[in-house]
């Protein structure tokens, strides 16, 4: 039994006692519920009990690029950050998860070394629609496509006709299409140089808006469910709000960082789509508050530090991606509390929202019958980010030296202490043997 003076429940925050049995939440009762012989954990007065977070956008990269990241390191970092479930992206691993054989390779690579529960997105590339049904039947949570260069040759983008074909097949399967939505025609080659401004201008908001418009149009035409990944351009919010069949997520770096504050040569801030201006950031926050954006996920996208080209600070040559799975919760909470938002909101964006997107009915909420994935979180405690204390394989971070609010004191995975390789492999809501 876990007693908390403050527990974030589906109907709001209040005192509660959570009874856990065989890895599930058996009962959510009043704070003074009798123990009845059960082992008791009483949260400290400054701690809040959160549901375990669900991060549906993580690039683990194993196998093939395990020197970039791996299942052991990524999932240990996730557990330390209060994330108890991740869904792995179909790239940048080799092979990419574009057929059932590659999905089996992913599962074999992950087995026995994961600290949290792990599921897998499938990928769709030109010519792969014939392989989507087998991937779906083998438990992929949906299908990711790129509309522009992915950065790796083994995962090429689809054109308009290809996107239409993927959406039609996904609609027939009852699956979900998740889209890196930048219009290739609206992008320019990433310019060489140490200045952030030229890189930002090479990936304008208009390219996102055009791609999202295409996604919405084809989703309506095919009847597919579609989800816009890592929304950075606030100019697209109106389109998404008017498209009931299309959902969207954003990421901690778009909510916490701003283009005006990125120093010359600071390539640890490079990601695609790019971090945009302060005014754009505030519009993303408003869209979250209004319920137009439903999820906040990390887009944890690591690489060896050498690929960030910190020696030259060349934004044109540097790999684009930010490692943040361990820091996502405190980064978002630090910003949310400044804006008068509550932990109930954060839990909706980072736990129940992503769980709903992936169809994980037993995740992301503190309710009877759900998995006992729980987090003891101290929202008013703070810490300074020291990269050497991160568990990612590579500890380069744009948050180094920042003071963040919210400390994860303890994480439970199905009632047991997280931080050991006891995670399970998931398929669309069920454990995979």
pLDDT tens-digit series, residues 286-340: 999 999 999 999 999 999 999 999 999 999 999 999 999 999 999 999 999 999 9
Residues 6 or more apart whose Cβ sits within 8 Å of residue 295: 56, 247, 248, 249, 250, 349, 350, 353, 354, 357
Q: How confident is the model at residue 419 (pLDDT cuts 50, 70, 90)?
A: confident
Could you tell me which of 157, 40, 175 has the C-alpha nearest to residue 96?
Answer: 157
> Which of 11-20, 48-57, 276-285, 413-422 has the lowest average pLDDT?
413-422
Question: Among 35, 90, 42, which Cα is nearest to 64's?
Answer: 90
| Domain regions of the chain by residue span | 52-360+382-398
pLDDT beyond 50 at 250: yes
Average pLDDT for 133-153: 97
Q: What is the pLDDT of residues 335-388, one digit of tens each?
A: 999 999 999 999 999 999 999 999 999 999 999 999 999 999 999 999 999 999
Residue 20: which of 417, 332, 380, 308 has the closest Cα? 417
What torsion do the CA atoms of 361, 367, 371, 375 make, to the nearest 10 degrees?
Answer: 120
Q: How far is residue 77's CA from residue 91's CA, in Å, rounded to a whole number?
A: 19
Across 259-265, average pLDDT: 97
- pLDDT-derived band of residue 431, with 50, 70 and 90 as boundaries? very low
Mean per-residue pLDDT, 183-210: 97
Phi, psi of 311 (to 5 degrees): -65, -35
> What's the pLDDT score for residue 35?
87
**Quick check: bond before 178 cis, omega within 30?**
no
Of 244 and 377, more confident: 377
Distance (Å, whole) CA 397 – CA 265: 14
Examine the pLDDT at 432 and tell me if it is beyond 50: no
pLDDT digits (tens, 9 = 90+) for 68-79: 999 999 999 999
- pLDDT exceeds 50 at position 113: yes
**Is residue 429's pLDDT more than 60?**
no
Per-residue confidence (pLDDT) for residue 369, from 0 to 100: 97
Class of the CATH-defined domain 52-360+382-398: alpha beta
DSSP assignment letter at 153? T
What is the reported pLDDT for 428? 81
Count each helix (H run) and each strand (E run) in the chain, helices first: 12, 19
Task: Give the pLDDT score at 430.
Answer: 59
DSSP strand pairing (430-431 vs 143-146): unpaired
């Amino acid at each position: 039994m876990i007693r908390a003076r403050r527990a974030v429940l589906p109907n709001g925050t209040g005192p509660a006692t959570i009874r856990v049995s065989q890895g599930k939440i058996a009962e959510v009762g009043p704070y003074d519920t009798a123990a009845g012989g059960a082992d008791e954990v009483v949260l400290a007065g400054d701690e809040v009990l959160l549901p375990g977070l669900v991060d549906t956008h993580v690039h683990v990269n194993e196998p093939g690029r395990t020197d970039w990241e791996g299942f052991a390191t990524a999932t240990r970092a996730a557990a330390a950050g209060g994330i108890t479930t991740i869904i792995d992206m179909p790239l940048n691993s080799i092979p990419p998860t574009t057929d059932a054989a590659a999905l089996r390779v992913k599962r074999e690579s992950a087995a026995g070394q994961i600290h949290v529960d792990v599921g897998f997105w499938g990928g769709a590339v030109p010519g792969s629609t014939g392989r989507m049904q087998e991937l779906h039947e083998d438990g992929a949570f949906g299908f990711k496509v790129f509309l522009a260069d992915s950065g790796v040759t083994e995962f090429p983008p689809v054109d308009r006709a290809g996107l239409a074909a993927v959406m039609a097949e996904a609609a027939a399967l009852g699956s979900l299409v998740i889209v890196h939505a930048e219009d290739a025609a609206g992008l320019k080659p990433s310019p060489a140089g140490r200045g952030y401004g030229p890189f930002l201008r090479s990936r304008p908001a208009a390219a996102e808006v055009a791609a999202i418009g295409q996604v919405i149009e084809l989703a309506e035409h095919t009847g597919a469910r579609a989800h816009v990944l890592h929304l950075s351009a606030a100019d697209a919010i109106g389109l998404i709000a008017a498209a009931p069949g299309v959902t969207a997520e954003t990421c901690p770096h778009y909510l916490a960082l701003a283009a005006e504050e990125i120093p010359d040569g600071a390539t640890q801030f490079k990601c695609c789509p790019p971090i945009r201006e302060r005014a754009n950031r505030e519009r993303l926050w408003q869209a979250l508050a209004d319920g137009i954006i439903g999820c906040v996920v990390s887009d944890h996208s690591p690489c060896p530090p050498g690929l960030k080209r910190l020696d030259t600070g060349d934004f044109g040559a540097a790999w684009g991606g930010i490692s943040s799975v361990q820091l996502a919760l405190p980064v978002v909470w630090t910003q949310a509390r400044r804006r008068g938002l509550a932990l109930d909101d954060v839990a909706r964006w980072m736990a129940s929202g992503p769980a709903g997107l992936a169809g994980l009915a037993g995740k992301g909420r503190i309710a009877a019958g759900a998995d006992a994935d729980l987090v003891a979180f101290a929202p008013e405690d703070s810490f300074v980010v020291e990269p050497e204390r991160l568990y990612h394989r590579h500890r380069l971070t744009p948050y180094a030296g920042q003071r963040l609010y919210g400390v994860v004191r303890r994480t439970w995975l199905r009632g047991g202490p997280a931080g050991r390789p006891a995670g399970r492999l998931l398929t669309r809501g069920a454990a995979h043997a």
